[in-house]
Amino acid sequence: MAHKRKKKYKSGEGNREYKIFAKKMGKAKALRDFEAMKRYLDNHPHITLDHIVKERYPSFIDALRDLDDCLSLVFLFSTFPSLKHVPRHQSALCRRLSMEFLHAIIASRALRKVFISIKGYYYQAEIKGQTITWIVPHHFSFVPQSTLEVDFRIMSTFVEFYCIMLGFVNYRLYHLLNLHYPPTFAPSTDDPTEKMLVDEEVFVAERVAALNIPLLQTGPDATEEDIEIDEFAMGEDPAKLEEARKEIEKVKKLKTLFKGLKFFLNREVPREPLVFIIRCLGGEVSWDKLLFVGATFPETDESITHHIIDRPKVDKQYISRYYVQPQWIFDCVNARELLPTEKYLIGAVLPPHLSPFIDKTKQRYVPLEEKLLEDPSLAQVNPGDDEEEEEEDEEEEVVGNVTEESKDKHKQKDKKKKEHQDTDEEQHEDEKDTEPEGKENMREKKKMNMKKKMSVSVGEVTKEDPNEKKKQQTQENKLREKMIKKKHRGLYKSMMKGRRERGKEVWLLEKKRKRIQEEEKTNKKLQKKQRRIEVEAD
């Protein structure tokens, strides 16, 4: 007998067919009719969700707008082993689809922002004018959860829908980039039943090796597209047009930020995010071929420009390269320029890793480090703590010991004051001797005074009182509040309450920072005094 093909049903028809199948299977189990059970299992109904994806996302842009949750869940399931409600083929499919999407981002160079957190790695890409943000979890050993805490069955149904959706998106992305679809990866991802898939370290090594290999193209490179400004949307405002032009220039610079640079990764460095970021920005990357698969050049290559390392010391160093900590790459992406490597060298205390996803238009606490990144000129106005401490030490030494030069200056000032007093007394005496006698002299004096009033005098700078300004602003705000309609007053009050709460949070954080800085200064002073006492005692 010829083998019967399994029928494919849509979700509505499939649910009905699945109910009939479940009833027949239950009846066969009760009667212990094993032949009927085998026959029903061979003709198991297969439900498809393609039509639901097409109905929900009629255009490609609609699918890109709703891709954030899809990617976060697919990347999460790609790290799972086979569980009770998570079949092995589903996690293997999530691994393959996530790898296809990462390759599409690398080929299009669409990466814009990166951030490391406790949850994982936050990435943001821009495809067809749509910003897509997703989370990739850290590669740790899987800890099984009880079914009461997490319902994997519901999550698995969502993943089933998201896998079909991401498959459509990947297919469209590869054809837009003139890439062959489906791409060929390591053999461990194709066959989920292989023994290699059980070992997490082996799988991660194969996955990173696949990221380091470029894909086959079916046509010319479609990554370098000229970005045009929509002047109609911007209006006639020249400031907005200038900002848009600057943003386009920064994006073009970001796409080729690591072009011509070679990176070598040490064994303790997280390889997958670094390989993905470096390849997205046009750089070349490799590692030790004896430890992991997929290395393209050895450590002894003299053309390597940057060695990414996360150790305090290295036995052997090459003069022709920079030894930098991994945070340098993430900060360069967010700053959209190659930052100086002085703060990221081996054993250096790293600067704070600031999030690029914060909305700068809202009222919030801005730390000093972020202000220095945006405006480096503030570092000259506000010198560091070390310089302030040195100045304080110098002041302490100078107090009580007035130099001879300062005494001479004071004597010269006193002499000048005496000379000015003598000249003023002489002028007063001359005026008394030459006092006008008569009406004619009085008239002349009045004329002179009138001329002085008519002459132009030098203007004086008047200082504005900040308290009066605040009073005027409060009065204006109260008048504006009276003009608000009754139906909008509740909304206005809630908005003002939120603003006050945010202002209070900012004030508390600033106060906390000042207190911590003062404590650090006092501790440093005490340490210095103890060192001086020890030196004097010796």
Question: How much is the pLDDT for 402?
Answer: 41
Question: How much is the pLDDT for 443?
Answer: 80
3-state secondary structure 10-75: CHHHHHHHHHHHHHHHHHHHHHCCHHHHHHHHHCCCEECCHHHHHHHCCCHHHHHHCCHHHHHHHH
Q: Domain locations in the chain?
A: 8-47, 67-141+151-211, 257-357, 361-374+492-538
The contacts of residue 178 (CB under 8 Å, 6+ apart) are 217, 218, 219, 220, 221, 222
The contacts of residue 72 (CB under 8 Å, 6+ apart) are 134, 135
Question: How much is the pLDDT for 275?
Answer: 92
Q: How far is CA 522 from CA 117, 234, 389, 526, 532, in A?
A: 32, 53, 10, 6, 15
For the chain, the residue count is: 538
* Eight-class DSSP state of 349: P
Question: How much is the pLDDT for 382?
Answer: 55
Amino acid code (one letter) for 157: T
The contacts of residue 115 (CB under 8 Å, 6+ apart) are 121, 122, 330, 334, 353, 355, 356, 357
Alpha helices in 325-456 (DSSP H): 327-335, 368-374, 378-381, 385-398, 404-433, 439-454
3-state secondary structure 229-245: CCHHHHCCCHHHHHHHH
The contacts of residue 56 (CB under 8 Å, 6+ apart) are 62
3-state DSSP percent of the chain in helix, strand and coil, to 5: 55, 10, 35
Question: How much is the pLDDT for 398?
Answer: 43
- Whose tokens are 């997703």? That residue is 134
Question: How much is the pLDDT for 180?
Answer: 86
Long-range contacts at 53-61 (CB < 8 A, ≥ 24 apart): 53/161, 53/164, 53/165, 53/168, 57/165, 57/168, 60/128, 60/169, 60/172, 61/128, 61/130
* Eight-class DSSP state of 308: E
- Return the SS3 of 8: strand
Distance of alpha carbon 346 from its chain centroid, rounded? 23
CB 262 within 8 A of CB 297: yes
Question: How much is the pLDDT for 188?
Answer: 42
Q: How far is CA 207 from CA 104, 185, 203, 333, in A?
A: 15, 8, 6, 23
DSSP assignment of 196-219 equals GGT-HHHHHHHHHHHHTSPPPBSS
Tokens describing residue 135: 């989370």
Residue 263's nearest CA partner among 337, 336, 330, 324 is 324
Question: How much is the pLDDT for 163?
Answer: 93
Question: How much is the pLDDT for 92?
Answer: 87
- Whose tokens are 């499939």? That residue is 14
- Greatest pairwise CA separation for the chain in angstroms: 145
Question: How much is the pLDDT for 379?
Answer: 65
- Whose tokens are 């003002």? That residue is 496
Rounded to whole angstroms, how far apart are CA atoms 181 and 215? 10
- Whose tokens are 């003139």? That residue is 178
Strand 306-308 with 262-265, pairing: parallel
Question: How much is the pLDDT for 195?
Answer: 44
Residues paired with residue 306 on neighbouring β-strands, in sequence order: 263, 322
Residues paired with residue 217 on neighbouring β-strands, in sequence order: 179
Rounded to whole angstroms, how far apart are CA atoms 21 and 27? 10
The CATH architecture that domain 257-357 belongs to is 3-Layer(aba) Sandwich (3.40)
Q: What is the pTM of this model?
A: 0.71
- Whose tokens are 């393959």? That residue is 96
Residue 258's nearest CA partner among 316, 170, 336, 187 is 336
Strand 306-308 with 322-324, pairing: parallel
Per-residue pLDDT of the chain (538 residues; tens, 9 = 90+): 444 455 555 555 556 777 888 888 898 889 888 888 888 888 877 777 888 888 899 999 999 999 999 999 999 998 887 777 788 888 889 989 999 999 999 999 999 999 999 999 999 999 998 999 999 998 876 666 665 677 888 888 899 999 999 999 999 999 998 888 888 765 444 444 444 444 556 666 767 777 777 776 665 665 555 555 555 555 566 777 888 888 888 888 899 999 989 999 998 898 899 999 999 999 999 998 888 888 888 888 889 999 999 988 888 888 889 999 999 999 999 989 898 999 899 988 888 888 888 877 777 788 777 777 777 676 665 554 445 555 555 544 444 444 445 555 555 666 666 665 555 555 555 544 454 456 677 888 887 877 776 666 677 777 788 888 889 988 998 888 888 888 898 998 899 899 889 889 989 998 998 999 899 999 999 998 898 888 888 7
Rounded to whole angstroms, how far apart are CA atoms 523 and 529? 10
DSSP assignment of 152-172 equals HHHHHHHHHHHHHHHHHHHHH
Residue 115's nearest CA partner among 358, 278, 338, 287 is 358
The contacts of residue 462 (CB under 8 Å, 6+ apart) are none
Question: How much is the pLDDT for 427?
Answer: 54
Rounded to whole angstroms, how far apart are CA atoms 190 and 202? 14
